């Protein structure tokens, strides 16, 4: 076969899909070494490679993502590094049968580690793994799901010391900042890697197609290197003890065409993708046009003409303190008497809380009854919602409603956390399962799940009875008002309501739903839940853009948009997108207020002006004006 780099000058190559999550779907449990199957069950690994080739993949990754000494030592297999990697390369080569390139896949050694591993040890580990793969004659090396530029650069240097001709593909896993973990812009990181000897650069994992596209847009047309894109199949859902990814094959195929337009020359899939997704991608790309990459001269001209993209820093601003919220009726008491508004505002992912506090103040001024804070939603590390909840209470005077996820704390930590909330006077909480840790920004961290959402509700209510989780009698009783989450965006609403009834039996005092974007569904929810003895807060999240709408519909578990809403938002970005998003939300809100006193707004991307305006809309409809009015213009 031709050199991979030569082919990419004029063609798009379809990559394969996931190995680890596909093995999980086939019944292999989380926690085992999937790479050890190269030796213990070679037929299974070979068959999966063959499935991807049959689906249209022309590039296969060896099953060696964590087949380094550091990772294999967790399973007592550190002495089998060479055997596992060589077996993986042979299996992929046999499955490719001359129809696909085989690249040796390596993941980060340092990612997720609590302590840094010495650089010399990292060098030895990469050298050992790379040597085994190169000895088997792979067609290229792929470094994937790297967060840190320094580690990626080190890995590339080791390859070039071992083989100065083999093609190297370097893929970062980035987050919303579109920067590496050490703060480099992608464009700068990619250019530095080219200087070290990388031939193809790109992105994979951490996000679905929408997130990767946004990151690639900052590089498109400004880099004289072919790029690769291997997105996840959306975000994972965790239902009844199983992980499920929501992005359909059709959606992945549509996204693949867009990746090609952005300049990607290798397009495949990461977590959650299967041969079905790859087949759809291959079919969609069969007639795709191939944009011409800029030359080095054009890249240099672009660099001189376009100023560097920088992330704007929030100006710290003082917040006018209002003192602690006065004690009074609970949200459950309030919602039985009048319309009641809860607004969600995400804690920041860094140490700057200025914008969060401004948002909390704006929502308080708009008349929100409570500010709710998620608990590291999507398993992405954010500032403690307990700390920010108390600051919102103390400095702004708005009632905090804290989410409590089962994912991060064992029984000891959960009771300790609840006791701390009690001491701070925070008595409203929402019990949730929590998104799996392995799909967040620290994939090597553990998902605890000592408790289910049903059990955590019962345990919290046990504190109200003056009993610790252990059954020990406490000197005081807590007074927690406990909410439960409800996803109505399902095929069988009646079954979801039956599950909800069990949460109420466990002790839930109120319900908060996932966002709903269909007026007819709102009416079905009202009819289906009217027999419940606890209030329901109907969830509405205004859309920020057309791409935001498609992302939510195709990539986020539990969220479905109507065709009408998607069509209205199509192509809208920026201010026009947010304006139409608020308009859509107001229409849904008008329907919701006829059936529900409880309204739950979710703030997208910290655009708190949007949810402040919607809060004002509630009071206008309810003929309960507040001032000042917030308008999204």
Q: How far apart are CA 43 and CA 52, in angstroms?
A: 14
DSSP assignment letter at 248 = -
Alpha-carbon distance of 313 to 199, in angstroms, equals: 33
Q: For 144, list phi and psi in degrees, rounded to 5.
A: -135, 155
CA distances, 567 to each of 127, 208, 550, 563, 602 (Å): 52, 21, 10, 6, 22
- Tokens 């409570």: give the residue: 370
To the question of whether residue 270 is assigned a binding role by annotation, the answer is: yes
Contacting residues for 424 by C-beta, under 8 A, at least 6 apart: 386, 389, 390, 393
d(CA 266, CA 249): 17
Structure tokens at 122: 């990292």
Query: In 3D, which of 67, 71, 59 has the Cα closest to residue 83?
Result: 67
Phi, psi of 323 (to 5 degrees): 85, 170
- The answer to the question of whether 406 is labelled as a binding residue is no
CB 376 within 8 A of CB 441: no
Peptide bond into 628 cis (omega under 30): yes
CA dihedral 133, 137, 61, 290 (to 10 degrees): 140
* Strand 340-344 with 370-373, pairing: parallel
- DSSP letter, residue 323: -
CA-based nearest residue to 271, from 321, 297, 303, 235:
235
Q: Give the span between the Cα atoms of 81 and 71, in whole angstroms.
A: 10
Distances (CA, A) of 314 to 145, 389, 548: 29, 20, 23
Nearest C-alpha neighbor of 38 from the set 63, 71, 60, 73 = 63
Q: Is 170 annotated as a binding residue?
A: no
Distance CA 399, CA 331 (A): 10
Q: Are 67 and 129 in contact (CB under 8 A)?
A: yes
CA 601 to chain centre: 20
Going by the DSSP 8-state scheme, the letter that residue 76 receives in this structure is T
Question: Can you tell me the distance from the alpha carbon of 342 to that of 618, in angstroms, rounded to the nearest whole number?
Answer: 11
Main-chain phi, psi angles of 34, to 5 degrees: -65, -30
Which residues does 154 contact at the CB level (< 8 Å), separation at least 6? Answer: 119, 122, 123, 126
> Would you state the torsion angle of the CA atoms of residues 568, 573, 575, 576, taken in this order, to the nearest 10 degrees?
-30
CA-CA distance, 8 to 282, in Å (whole number)?
A: 16
Q: Which residue has the tokens 């929810």?
A: 525
Total number of residues shown for the chain: 633
Which residues 6+ apart lie within 8 Å of 94 measured at CB? 46, 49
Binding site for Zn(2+): what residues are annotated? 205, 270-271
Binding residues: 205, 270-271
């Amino acid at each position: 076969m031709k050199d991979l780099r030569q082919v990419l000058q004029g063609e798009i190559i379809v990559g394969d899909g996931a190995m680890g999550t596909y093995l999980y779907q086939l019944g292999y449990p989380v926690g085992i070494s999937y790479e050890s199957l190269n030796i213990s069950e070679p037929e299974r690994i070979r068959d999966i490679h063959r499935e991807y080739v049959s689906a249209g993949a022309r590039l296969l990754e060896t099953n060696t993502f964590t087949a380094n000494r550091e990772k294999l030592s967790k399973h007592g297999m550190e002495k089998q590094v060479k055997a596992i990697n060589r077996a993986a390369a042979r299996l992929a080569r046999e499955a490719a049968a001359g129809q696909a390139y085989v690249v040796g896949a390596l993941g980060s050694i340092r990612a997720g580690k609590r302590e840094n591993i010495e650089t010399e040890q990292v060098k030895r580990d990469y050298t050992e793994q790379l040597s085994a793969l190169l000895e088997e004659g792979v067609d290229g090396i792929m470094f994937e799901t790297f967060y840190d530029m320094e580690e990626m650069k080190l890995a590339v240097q080791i390859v070039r010391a071992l083989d100065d001709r083999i093609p190297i593909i370097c893929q970062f896993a980035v987050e919303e900042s579109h920067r590496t973990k050490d703060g480099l812009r992608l464009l700068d990181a990619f250019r530095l890697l080219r200087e070290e000897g990388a031939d193809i650069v790109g992105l994979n994992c951490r996000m679905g197609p929408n997130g990767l596209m946004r990151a690639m847009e900052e590089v498109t047309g400004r880099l004289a290197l072919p790029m690769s894109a291997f997105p996840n199949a959306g975000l994972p859902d965790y239902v009844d003890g199983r992980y499920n990814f929501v992005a359909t094959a059709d959606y992945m195929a549509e996204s693949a065409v867009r990746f090609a337009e952005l300049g990607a020359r290798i397009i495949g899939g990461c977590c959650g993708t299967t041969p079905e997704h790859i087949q759809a991608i291959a079919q969609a790309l069969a007639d795709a046009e191939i944009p011409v990459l800029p030359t080095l001269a054009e890249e240099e001209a672009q660099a001189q003409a376009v100023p560097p993209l920088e992330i704007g820093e929030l100006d710290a601003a003082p917040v006018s303190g209002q003192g602690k919220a006065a004690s009074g009726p609970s949200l459950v008491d309030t919602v039985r008497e009048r319309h009641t508004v809860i607004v969600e505002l995400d804690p920041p992912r860094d140490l700057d809380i200025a914008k969060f506090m401004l948002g909390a103040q704006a929502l308080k001024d708009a008349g929100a009854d409570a500010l709710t804070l998620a608990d590291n939603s999507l398993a992405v590390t954010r500032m403690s919602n307990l700390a920010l909840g108390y600051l919102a209470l103390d400095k702004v005077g708005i009632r905090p409603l804290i989410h409590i996820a089962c994912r991060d704390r064992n029984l000891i930590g959960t009771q300790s956390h609840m006791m701390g909330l009690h001491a701070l006077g925070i008595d409203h909480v929402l019990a949730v399962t929590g998104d799996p840790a392995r799909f967040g920004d620290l994939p090597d961290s553990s998902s605890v799940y000592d408790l289910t959402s049903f059990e955590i509700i019962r345990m919290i209510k046990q504190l109200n009875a003056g009993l610790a989780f252990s059954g020990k009698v406490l000197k005081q009783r807590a007074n927690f008002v406990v909410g439960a989450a409800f996803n109505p965006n399902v095929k069988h609403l009646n079954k979801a309501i039956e599950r909800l009834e069990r949460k109420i039996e466990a002790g839930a005092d109120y319900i908060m739903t996932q966002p709903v974007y269909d007026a007819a569904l709102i009416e079905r929810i009202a009819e289906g839940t009217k027999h419940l003895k606890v209030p329901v807060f109907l969830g509405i999240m205004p859309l920020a853009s057309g791409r935001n709408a498609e992302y939510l519909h195709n990539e986020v578990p539990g969220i479905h948009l109507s065709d009408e809403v998607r069509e209205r938002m199509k192509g809208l970005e920026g201010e026009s997108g947010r304006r139409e998003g608020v308009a859509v939300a107001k229409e849904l809100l008008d329907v919701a207020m006829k059936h529900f006193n409880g309204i739950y707004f979710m703030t997208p991307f910290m655009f708190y002006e949007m949810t402040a305006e919607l809060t004002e809309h509630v009071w206008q409809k309810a003929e309960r004006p507040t001032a000042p009015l917030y308008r999204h213009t």
